[in-house]
Amino acid sequence: MKISTKISLVAIASAVAMAPLFGSVADLETLQFGHTSLAYQYTFEGTYTAADGTGTWINQKVDDSGVNLAQNPFPTALTTQSSGFDMSSKMASFGGASSQGVAGSGLLASETINLGTTATVEFLVSFGNMTTPGYNPKERFLIEGANGTTNGRTTFGIVSQSCDAFSNMVGGPSQLNLIGGTSDVAYAQDTWYYVVQTFTVNAGQITINAWVADLTNDGELTQVLTDITKAFTGDISTTYMSLGRSAGAHTTTQRTAAVADLDALAFYDSVLDMDTINEHFNSITIPEAGSAALVLAFAALIPVLRRRRK
C-alpha cells in the first residue's frame, strides 16, 4: 500500500507539535518518586480549592499518611497553586504580603521530618520582586525546618537581606550562597533554577555540596559548593518544615516571607551520587527519545516532499 508523503508529513508534524521537545518537570518528578532513598516529595500536583487553598496538591506524595502540608498564612495570605515551569507541572506560589515582608503566605508540615545523618534536598525555584524588609530578621525565608539547637539549623533556602542572593543556612548561622553572591550562578528575578544540596553529618560536623543550573537561560549544571564543612549538632531532622516563611512563623509573626515559586521539592535520606543528579537535571533539559525521533523524521521528510514537487 502506497502512503502519501504529504499525509505522512502532516501526521508527523502534528505529533511533533503535541510532543514535548524537551524534558519536563513531570519527568523529573517521576525519577524522584522512583528513587529508593526518597523520603518526602512535594510536587504541588492534585486538587486545589481556591477558597482556602486546600486539597491534595499540598500533600506529600511518598505515601498517603506522610507529612502533609497545611496553609500557614499571616495574616490571611494564601499560598496558591499555579502553572509551573512547563505545561507538565503545577507549582506553589508564595507571596510576601507587605513591602517589609513580615506578612506573607506559607505552608507548614507540622509532623516531624527525619533524614538522619545523610540527606539530599532537590527543588526548582523562581524568585519574584523582593525588597529589603524593615523588620528583623531581614532575610526572606523559603525552605526552613525548625529545631532548637545552635548549630542544628536546617534552613535549606533563604533570600539575602539585599534580595540579590539565595543561600542555605545549615548548621551554624553563616549563609552559603547557592545563587548570587559568591556563587558562579547569577541571581535574577523571574528565572527558574534547578537546585540540589547534599549533606553528610559526622563527628559534630556537616559536609555540604550543592549544584545549581539556570533553566530559563539554558545554563549548565554548576557545582557551587564543594565539601564545605561546618559545625553541626544532631542529625538532619526537624519538628516541622515551613515553606514560604520561616519555621519561626509557626509561633511568632516576627519573621519575613519570600516572594517565590517552588516546584518538585524532594527530600532524600541519602547523598545522591553525581550520576543520579545528572540524570535528574537531564530529565528537564534533554528531549525525550521519542520526541527527538519525531523531529528527525520530520526533518528527513522535508527534502522528500520537495523532490516530489519537482
- Cα separation, 250 vs 258, in Å, equals 15
pLDDT at 254: 56
The pLDDT value given to residue 148: 64
| pLDDT tens track for 176-202 | 999 999 999 999 999 999 999 999 999
pLDDT, tens only, 242-299: 999 887 656 555 568 899 999 999 999 999 999 999 999 999 998 765 444 444 444 4
The span from the CA of 50 to the CA of 81, in Å, is 8
Cell of 259: 516572594
pLDDT in tens, 66-110: 899 999 988 888 999 999 999 999 999 998 766 666 788 999 997
List, in sequence order, the alpha helices (H) in the chain: 5-18, 25-34, 274-285, 289-309
- The span from the CA of 259 to the CA of 240, in Å, is 21
- What are the residues whose beta carbons fall under 8 Å from the beta carbon of 57, sequence distance 6 or more? 44, 45, 46, 47, 48, 81, 90
Evaluated on CA atoms 44, 49, 54, 60, the torsion sign reads negative
Q: Which residue has the higher pLDDT, 220 or 7?
A: 220
- When pLDDT is cut at 50, 70 and 90, the band that residue 143 belongs to is very high
Please tell me the predicted confidence (pLDDT) of residue 128: 94
> ∠253-259-261 over CA atoms, to 5°?
125
Task: State the average pLDDT over residues 217-230.
Answer: 97
User: For residue 257, what pLDDT is reported?
Assistant: 87
* Burial class of residue 132, CB neighbours in 10 A (0-12, 13-18, 19+): middle
Q: How many CB atoms lie within 10 A of CB 37?
A: 15
**pLDDT for 63 beyond 90:** no
pLDDT at 104: 85
AA identity, residue 54? T
What's the predicted TM-score (pTM) here? Answer: 0.86
Average the pLDDT over each of 148-152, 178-182, 205-209 and give the range with the smallest value: 148-152
CA-derived radius of gyration, the chain = 22
C-alpha 278: how far from its chain's center? 15
